[in-house]
Each structure stands twice: as structure tokens, then as C-alpha cells.
Amino acid sequence: MAVDLLLGLQWGDEGKGKIVDVLTTKYNIIARFQGGPNAGHTLEFDGIKHVLRTIPSGIFRKDSMNVIGNGVVIDPVVFVQELEGLDKFNLDYKSKLIISRKAHVILPTHRLLDAASETSKGKAKIGSTLKGIGPTYMDKTGRNGIRIGDLELDNWKDKYRALANKHEGMIAFYDVKVQYNLAEMEAEFFAAVERLKELQFIDSEEYLNQALKDGKSILAEGAQGSLLDIDFGTYPFVTSSNTTASGACTGLGVPPNKIGEVFGIFKAYTTRVGSGPFPTELFDQVGEDMARIGHEFGAVTGRARRCGWLDLVALRYACQVNGVTQLSMMKGDVLSGFTSLKVCTAYHYKGKEIKHFPFNIEAENVTPIYTEFKGWKADLTKMTEASQFPKELNDYIDFLEKELELPITIVSVGPDRTQTINR
């Protein structure tokens, strides 16, 4: 058996949660491999909307196991809030959710460090979700971190104290005011750790590789998007983990030759939340209409998402880096009623026309070159088969498939589980 991957190809919020939920019925195990509570994955079914942060999007389906892999960073406080959100749905998550001992723990002081670092950057800030992601991964690679498995040791609080004291020194080093009451934050944190310890901690790489041997199927769920990858994204305006395909190998301990399908998912347009370059960003009424119709507000922070046309230069790059084998196009329904649509197929870059994603995509270096399409008027949200699609939508999809040299096998026409069309 293989591990299939589901990855966002843009700057996050492509609709990963929805598609994982749809695909879960085909898999025995759903596994998150990177990121943490900076993610907000939305699932909608039976008239209810759920937003998951660290818990894999397979949690609502009866028969799937959900694994939080070693590459994930976990904030016990947010995690317990997430569990409490699930409590009202009578889910037996204690038997369906398992956590890698090698996953790293986000401490209250990591969140404070995130805030201090962002404030000190002023206008150059990343636009972080301020969940402590960057500082936690820094401690991981700096070999100072506390892992989930450490919480099982009697003396883990000694290790905690030493690290938190070091962090306090670092917060003081930043020449910015960060108000906090650490005693209160710690009380909440220690209580949450106790709750977290009621769940099963495992050696997840052993569990997953054994599951493969036993013929079980695994879907690895990505968080964020390829353009937020620490290596391949629009650095430094990125997150602190590898969001691309190889992150699934290091974040779960599954070898590269066990990777099967790579599902790449993208919106029919582009959004970005936080700072950083965005060549096809719109600053006019069209962009505002996209944001309004698409309800483009962050699932985690509520911040307005910046909107723009689809960027095939960026998308081609993401497909290449990830080895995408099939695509899902999300939110096509949002574009219904736009008279014309544009797709960026190349960039003007330093006097030349280029088709590859260059080192620097700041606005002063890059001007998008567009192909224009006639829009469609039909409401897609009630459609159930691709044969009902208007000609203009088919033209749009055919063009993208040709440019990307990949099939678009899923077209999503609304937020609900049922609003999903296979082609």
C-alpha cells in the first residue's frame, strides 16, 4: 500500500479540510505531517461547519484513524479547546486519535516570542498567526525543544522551566513591549497538558509503516500551502515547516518510495493572508467581489484574505516541486457572474518573459501576463455532474489542464461535502 498526499498548492486555505473529509471514506488512516494550530481547516456537512486546527480532517468519519505526526507542533491549550469543540458531537476521539511522541510542544513562551519577534519587525512583519509556530520550530532545529514523549517523563517540568526561563530572557532582549502574565498562562498550559495526556502517545513512524505492511491505506493531510514552504515558498513570508510533498516523508517517517498519488488542490483564483508578494493581487472592485462572494476571511484569525487572479506560473512551480499527479479545483462557484476572468500564464521579469517561478517575485520585478476568458453566469452550487457545467467553465478547466499538464479530477462547487464533482 502507498501513502497518498493531499497538499495545498497556493498560499493556504485552498479547501484542504473539505477534500480530506470527502476522500477519507477511501482511507484507513488520515495523518497530519507538519504545521500546527496556525492551520484552520474547514469541513461542512449536515448544515454544520467545523474548523479543525491540529486534528486531522478524518476525525468525523466513523472508520478512520487519525494520526498527528512527528512533523507537527502541538499547543496543548489550543488542542484541548479543539477537543472541547468535538465533545458536543459525541465523537469517540480517544480511540480514533493518536499522537506522535516525536511531535514538538508549543509552550506559552513560544507564543510570546512570536509576538515579540513580529512587533520588532514593524512594517516588515510576516503577518504570522502568532500561534508560536516559528519559535517552536526554531527550538526543534536548535535542539532545545520539548517533545510530546517528554511529557510522559517525571522530570519534564524541569526541562520546561529551563526553556521557559531562557525564553523570558529572549523576550526581554527584543526591544518591544509584550505584556503578559506567565503564571496565568502556565496554569492553563499545565492543565491542558494533563488533558492531552489522556490521549494515546505512540511511536507513529512504527505505527504507520506497520499499517502499510498490513495493507492499510494512508492519506497524509498537508497544512498551509506550497508557497508558504520554508524552502520553496516566498521566503521570508512563509511558515516554518516544509509544506511540500517531501515534508510528508520527514513529518511521518514514511519513505519516499511509499508515496502514491499526490493530490494538489487550488482555488480557481488566488488568496493570501498575511504579508508578502502576490503578483496577481487585485486592488479593485473585482478583488473585493471575490473576497465578499468567497467569504475570504481567515478561519483562524478572521483576517481578510487578499484576493487575485489564478497564477499559473506559481501553480506550475507548486505542481513540479510536489510531483502532483491530479488536481482539485476549488471555489469555481465563486467566479459565477464575473463578466471576464484572467489567468496569469507568464511573468515579465527584468525585461524578459519567463514561465518559471523566479527567486524574487516582488511587484517591482514581476508583472503578470494574462490570458482572458469569458465568464459564466450559471450558479454551480446545485450542480451534481460535470455534464451540467457551462461551456465557459469547461473552457477554463481545459485551459488549466493543458497549461499544467495534469488532470483536474475534482471540481468543488460549494463548501459542503456534497458539493463535490468528480470528473
Summarize as ranges the residues that interact with ligand IMO (CB under 6 A). 8, 11-13, 38-41, 126-129, 131, 133-134, 223-225, 228, 237, 239, 273-274, 299
175 a catalytic residue: no
User: Scanning residues 288 to 327, which ones bind ligand GDP (CB under 6 A)?
Assistant: 299
* CA–CA distance, 288 with 229 (Å, rounded to integer): 27
Quick check: 58 binds ligand GDP (CB under 6 A)? Answer: no
Identify the sign of the CA torsion 332, 335, 340, 343. negative
- In the bound state, the residue with its beta carbon closest to ligand GDP is 42
Give one DSSP letter per residue of 285-296, joined into a string.
Answer: HHHHHHHHHTT-
Residue 140 binds what, of Mg ion, ligand GDP, ligand IMO, none (CB under 5 to 8 Å, by partner type)?
none
**Is 333 labelled as part of a ligand binding site?**
yes
Quick check: 72 binds ligand GDP (CB under 6 A)? Answer: no
Spatial contact of 139 and 82, defined as CB atoms under 8 Å apart: no
Burial 125-161 (b: 16+ CB within 10 A, else e): ebebbbbbbbbbbebbeeeebbbbbebeeeebeebbe
Residue 274 binds what, of ligand IMO, Mg ion, ligand GDP, none (CB under 5 to 8 Å, by partner type)?
ligand IMO
In one-letter notation, the amino acid at residue 299 is A
Instruction: Please identify which of the residues 50, 104, 140, 342 carries the catalytic annotation.
Output: 140
Residue 323 binds what, of ligand IMO, ligand GDP, Mg ion, none (CB under 5 to 8 Å, by partner type)?
none
**Is 161 labelled as part of a ligand binding site?**
no
13 a catalytic residue: yes
Decide whether 333 or 392 has the Cβ nearer to ligand GDP. 333
**Is 224 labelled as part of a ligand binding site?**
yes
* CA–CA distance, 48 with 29 (Å, rounded to integer): 23
Instruction: Please identify which of the residues 4, 13, 21, 75 carries the catalytic annotation.
Output: 13
Decide whether 30 or 39 has the Cβ nearer to ligand IMO. 39
Backbone angles phi, psi at 90, to 5 degrees: 55, 40
Three-state SS at 333: helix
Burial 83-100 (b: 16+ CB within 10 A, else e): beebeeeebebeebbbbb
* CA–CA distance, 347 with 408 (Å, rounded to integer): 24
Which of 26-34, 35-43, 77-85, 135-143 is the region at the interface with ligand GDP (rule: CB under 6 A)? Answer: 35-43
> Of 267, 249, 280, 270, which is closest to residue 348 (Cα–Cα)?
280
**Is 243 labelled as part of a ligand binding site?**
no
140 a catalytic residue: yes
**Is 318 labelled as part of a ligand binding site?**
no
Quick check: 264 binds ligand GDP (CB under 6 A)? Answer: no
**Is 308 labelled as part of a ligand binding site?**
no
Strands 420-422 and 352-354: unpaired
Spatial contact of 279 and 366, defined as CB atoms under 8 Å apart: yes
Q: Which residues bind Mg ion (CB under 5 A)?
A: 13, 40, 299
Decide whether 15 or 145 has the Cβ nearer to ligand GDP. 15
Give me the least distance between CB of 316 and ligand GDP, in Å please. Answer: 20
**Is 120 labelled as part of a ligand binding site?**
no
Decide whether 15 or 251 has the Cβ nearer to Mg ion. 15
Question: Which residues have CB under 8 Å from 399's CB, separation 6+?
Answer: 343, 371, 373
Quick check: 334 binds ligand GDP (CB under 6 A)? Answer: yes
Instruction: Please identify which of the residues 4, 41, 110, 139 carries the catalytic annotation.
Output: 41
Quick check: 331 binds ligand GDP (CB under 6 A)? Answer: yes
Give me the least distance between CB of 44 and ligand GDP, in Å please. Answer: 5
Give one DSSP letter per residue of 75-115, joined into a string.
Answer: -HHHHHHHHHHHHTTT--HHHHEEEETTSEEPPHHHHHHHH
Among 98, 327, 413, 421, the residue binding ligand GDP under the rule CB under 6 A is 413
* CA–CA distance, 57 with 27 (Å, rounded to integer): 12
Residues making up the binding site for IMP: 13-16, 38-41, 129, 143, 224, 239, 303
Instruction: Please give the positions annotated as active site.
Output: 13, 41, 140
Residues making up the binding site for GTP: 12-18, 40-42, 305, 331-333, 412-414
Binding residues (CB under 6 A) for ligand GDP: these are 8, 12-18, 40-42, 44, 299, 330-331, 333-334, 412-415
Residues making up the binding site for substrate: 299-305
